[in-house]
Amino acid sequence: MILGIDIGGTTTKLGLISGGRVLERTRMATIGHNDAGSFVDALTREAKALADKSGAVVKAIGVGAPNGNQRTGRIEKAPNLPWGQDLPLAELLAKEFAVPCQLGNDANAAALGEWYHGAGRGCSDLLVVTLGTGLGSGLIVDGRLLLGPFGNAGELGHVILVPDGRACTCGRNGCLEAYVSIRGILQTHAEVTEDKLIANTDEGVKPIADAAYHGDKAALSTFDKTAAWLAIGLANAVAIAPPQRIVLCGGIAASGEVLFGPLRRHFAMDILSIHSGKVELVRSGLATDDAGLLGAAALVEHHREE
Ligand SMILES: [Zn+2]
């Protein structure tokens, strides 16, 4: 049994996973802890309670986290987690449970989850893009997750798309993420409607997607512009590391055809002709609630194969 831990900005999910299925699960708040130490204590308590409840023997732990670095096992200064310093979480959990622990970034975990258990099964090369608060991505190249020398390869969200464009959370301007993310899409919608920027809510871009399905011109135009930007980013990624398939996941991908329709059209125009017609564009094959946990467990599964 693998203990999977999916650390998000507000909620941390824990699950017991076997054979690509989540058998038991629980969740706890990520925020509200005074420091990293008290978060780790709470996480350990929750994990032990979950294992005790099911009577399962945990053989390994997989953790997906923002800014998680698989080369170091640390969460490195994640801007949206409530503690500033690096946290050597893999080492702390391995010691506490006396089992091996693999920690990686959440986008890479999502990529492995789709590759092992979701819409990416059977590919030797795969690009998985998570569209939500930010734009995360994970690349499988020649049958291996691409980590790079510093453990952070494949940051498609921060390729510069527009010179001197919108300010990005990374401190630079014009990154893909500044256009294709919840905040980016809300901003595009505000520009199209010449209206005030609406506050980001739990609903994300769903109200705009709903309006687009009802034929609202501004909403349709917002998705068309978003699709055009995303298509350039994807076509550029394909030029460097062509995958058989691109899987889109996260809340924005759940918008469905209002995004995928224009995206397929723009992508077909932008893709290099040698790759034309060879790269599939599909939606996540995993249930939203399971994706992060299966991804965390897949970090362990992939490590075992290496
Ligand atoms: Zn950026």
- Residues 224-275 pLDDT 10s: 999 999 999 999 999 999 999 999 999 999 999 999 999 999 999 999 999 9
Distance 135 CA to ligand 1 centre (A): 10
Distance 221 CA to ligand 1 centre (A): 24
Does the pLDDT of residue 76 top 70, yes or no? yes
pLDDT of residue 201: 73
The arithmetic mean of pLDDT across residues 71-81, rounded, is 84
pLDDT band (50, 70, 90) for residue 203: confident
Phi and psi at 174, nearest 5°, equal 85, 15
Distance 160 CA to ligand 1 centre (A): 7
Distance 296 CA to ligand 1 centre (A): 25
Distance 47 CA to ligand 1 centre (A): 34
Round the average pLDDT of the chain to a whole number and report it: 94
Distance 130 CA to ligand 1 centre (A): 15
Residues 6+ apart with CB under 8 A from 43: 5, 12, 14, 28, 93
The arithmetic mean of pLDDT across residues 195-199, rounded, is 76
The length of the chain is: 306
Distance 226 CA to ligand 1 centre (A): 16
Distance 61 CA to ligand 1 centre (A): 31
Distance 159 CA to ligand 1 centre (A): 7
The rounded distance, in Å, linking the Cα atoms of 30 and 228 is: 35
Of 218, 202, 65, 74, the residue nearest 133 (C-alpha) = 202
Does the pLDDT of residue 80 top 70, yes or no? no
pLDDT of residue 238: 98
pTM across the whole model: 0.94
Distance 42 CA to ligand 1 centre (A): 32
The rounded distance, in Å, linking the Cα atoms of 299 and 223 is: 33
pLDDT of residue 36: 85
The rounded distance, in Å, linking the Cα atoms of 165 and 175 is: 8
Distance 184 CA to ligand 1 centre (A): 12
pLDDT of residue 254: 92
Does the pLDDT of residue 82 top 90, yes or no? no
pLDDT band (50, 70, 90) for residue 79: low
Distance 166 CA to ligand 1 centre (A): 9
The arithmetic mean of pLDDT across residues 82-106, rounded, is 91
pLDDT of residue 45: 96
pLDDT of residue 150: 92
Distance 165 CA to ligand 1 centre (A): 11
Distance 169 CA to ligand 1 centre (A): 6
Q: Output 144 or 10, whichever has higher pLDDT.
A: 144
Distance 227 CA to ligand 1 centre (A): 18
pLDDT digits (tens, 9 = 90+) for 110-127: 999 999 999 999 999 999
Distance 258 CA to ligand 1 centre (A): 25
